[in-house]
Chain A
Amino acid sequence: MVNRSDDPLLVVTDLRVAYSHAIVALQGVSLAVGRGEIVSLLGRNGSGKTTLLRALTGLLPYHDGRIVDGEVRLAGTSVSTMSASGIVSAGVAQVMEGRRIFAELTVDENLSAGAVTLRDRRQVASNRDAVFSLFPFLADRKADQAGYLSGGEQQMLAIGRAMMSSPDLLILDEPSLGLAPMVVTRIRDIVTEINERGATVLLVEQNAAMALSISDYGYILSAGQVAKEGPGRELESDPRVRELYLGAALGTSHG
């Protein structure tokens, strides 16, 4: 177990985000992700999870949003005003909600697109090998147009693409959304394996049971604020958490 107080990789302090200068989507969120941890971020639709991820990864400008106040620090350096590409270079990769693979590009080109921030070709080649060892089917289908992969395969391509930049912090937004239970289990195992290979993981999920079962720590967002936080196991067994924030999702996937 990681000591959470000891030099976390990601620190978010009192973050406030507004869209189009009017709607306040995040009203002072603070959280930390320690090195080597899997931290999950839970909450219902509209609770601010995706907004928080956009703020962490520099994508707010694509949605007319901006950080009004507060700070995001990665390994001690502020990234609040960095561009999306700057943040990737700084070591953060993300798997966006809805996978967002480049359907018109081949599988291999999708992986190359994930490695644009790397200068060292050998590094790119070894990352590609690592992705293929994680997802052997991608190697067999690397010349195929990515749009022809199944939903689960596209999700794995999206994860592989994110791993191509050798991130210190991997952010996943709803990786299990819309996938069959067997595939969800597979995604969970992959997230665990990626974490064991050295990446810190921030996992946003609606499938709270899946997320908490592999998380060291969890935060529950509600109406743009942290409503509750605690070690994964603690949140998992808290009846109030189950009732108030996680709905039925927790009960069903435990059986």
Chain B
Amino acid sequence: MEKFFQLFVAAIALGGIYALIALGFVVVYKATGTFNFAQGGFVLLGAYLVYQFGDDWSLPFFVALILAMVVMAGVAAGIERVVIRPMINGPPFTIVLITLGVLLIIEQAVRTLWSEPAYVLTTPWGNGVTEVAGVSIRHVDMWTVGFATLVLGGFFAIFRFTTIGIAMRATAFDQEAAAAQGIKVGRSFSISWAIAGAVAVVAGAMLTSRTGSVLTPGLSFIALRAFPAMIIGGLDSPGGAVAGGVVIGVVEVMALGYLDFDWIGSGFEVVLAYVLMIIVLLWRPNGLFGTRAVQRV
């Protein structure tokens, strides 16, 4: 039972990270209909920016984190404005390939700007562990759960209750009708991408500061593990992204903890999320919370 609780905390933490990444995908997909591969690049660049501001420039960690979020929000919004928006009426597949190109460019830029093969991100929690009733809980996992809750809660508060959130949802539902109300549709796009950039930083920093992790250009690939999360939750449902992320995190950690994959080869936990995705899609083709098609009554 202790092992279960130990794994459970780690599972929720990883699920929280996947939820953040999946949310970034979903926010952009919902607002602009773009399947944004560059989200993995945002996670990657975001984590390197935290390293740059925190470890290299010696800013306090939380200052570095917030600064990186602001910068990434600007970078993501800038990318949307410069390379995505001019294509907005183009073939969807073209836009998807553009985002794939942006991902590759970001990966190469990171390799050029930070030439060491790996970096260690210094965090206030380090490798600390606390013993609670026989269960050892890693500090990084508690911080991760806290951060994920804060960021996701903040997002949903904005999305549900503010004028900006209403404008974003209205734009997602019907761009022309939104414009007819005076909503600045372009600004809704910018805000969606900025949010995707900012949440990616938190995900990247938490992924990199997990015990035993280092910062390498391979981070963007790990970020793509959140793909199944958004599919499972439903491409256009931010709440579903969170649910999907948590499900994937829990399955991955629990499977690693309890199941013996030796017979099938190591690394099966990596594809497990995709297996789960296929099973869910066979059962519910639009994901757990996705809408079949936008209803026009």
User: Is the beta-carbon distance between B297 and A103 smaller than 8 angstroms?
Assistant: yes
Count contacts between A and B, CB distance < 8 Å.
79
Q: Is B182 at the interface (CB under 8 A from chain A)?
A: yes
Contact flag A88-B176 (CB < 8 Å), given A103-B297, A113-B167, A116-B163: no
Contact flag A113-B179 (CB < 8 Å), given A103-B295, A105-B169: no
At the interface, is chain B mostly helix, strand, loop or mixed?
Answer: helix
Residues of A in contact, count (CB < 8 Å)? 31
Cα separation A104 to B171 with both chains bound (whole Å): 11
Closest B residue, CB atoms, query A164: B181
Contact flag A59-B179 (CB < 8 Å), given A102-B174, A147-B297: yes
Q: Is A192 at the interface (CB under 8 A from chain B)?
A: no
Q: Is B296 at the interface (CB under 8 A from chain A)?
A: yes
Q: Is A112 at the interface (CB under 8 A from chain B)?
A: yes
Contact flag A62-B179 (CB < 8 Å), given A103-B173, A112-B163, A147-B297: yes
User: Is the beta-carbon distance between B180 and A102 smaller than 8 angstroms?
Assistant: no
Cα separation A244 to B181 with both chains bound (whole Å): 35
User: Which of these, A59, A112, A154, contacts B297 with CB under 8 Å?
Assistant: A154
A residues in contact with B43, CB < 8 Å: none
Q: Is A85 at the interface (CB under 8 A from chain B)?
A: yes
Contact flag A117-B182 (CB < 8 Å), given A62-B176, A105-B170: yes
Cα separation A58 to B184 with both chains bound (whole Å): 12
B residues in contact with A151, CB < 8 Å: 297
Contact flag A102-B182 (CB < 8 Å), given A112-B163, A113-B167, A116-B163: no
User: Is the beta-carbon distance between B166 and A84 smaller than 8 angstroms?
Assistant: no
Cα separation A151 to B170 with both chains bound (whole Å): 19
B residues in contact with A161, CB < 8 Å: 181
Q: Is B177 at the interface (CB under 8 A from chain A)?
A: yes
User: Is the beta-carbon distance between B166 and A105 smaller than 8 angstroms?
Assistant: yes
Q: Is A14 at the interface (CB under 8 A from chain B)?
A: no
B residues in contact with A116, CB < 8 Å: 163, 166-167, 181-183
Q: Is B190 at the interface (CB under 8 A from chain A)?
A: no
Contact flag A104-B169 (CB < 8 Å), given A62-B175, A112-B163, A147-B295: yes
Contact with B along A65-108 (1 / 0, CB 8 A): 00000000000000000011100110001101010111111000
User: Is the beta-carbon distance between A84 and B170 smaller than 8 angstroms?
Assistant: no
User: Is the beta-carbon distance between B176 and A85 smaller than 8 angstroms?
Assistant: no
Q: Is B178 at the interface (CB under 8 A from chain A)?
A: yes
Contact with A along B174-212 (1 / 0, CB 8 A): 111111111110000000000000000000000000000
What are 9 A-B contacts with C-beta separation under 8 Å? A57-B180, A59-B176, A96-B176, A96-B180, A98-B296, A101-B297, A105-B166, A112-B166, A165-B181
8 other A-B residue contacts (CB within 8 Å) besides A93-B181, A104-B295, A116-B163: A100-B174, A100-B177, A102-B170, A104-B294, A105-B169, A112-B166, A116-B167, A116-B183
Pairs A-B, 8 closest by C-beta atoms:
A88-B182, A117-B182, A100-B177, A84-B179, A85-B182, A62-B176, A113-B170, A102-B173
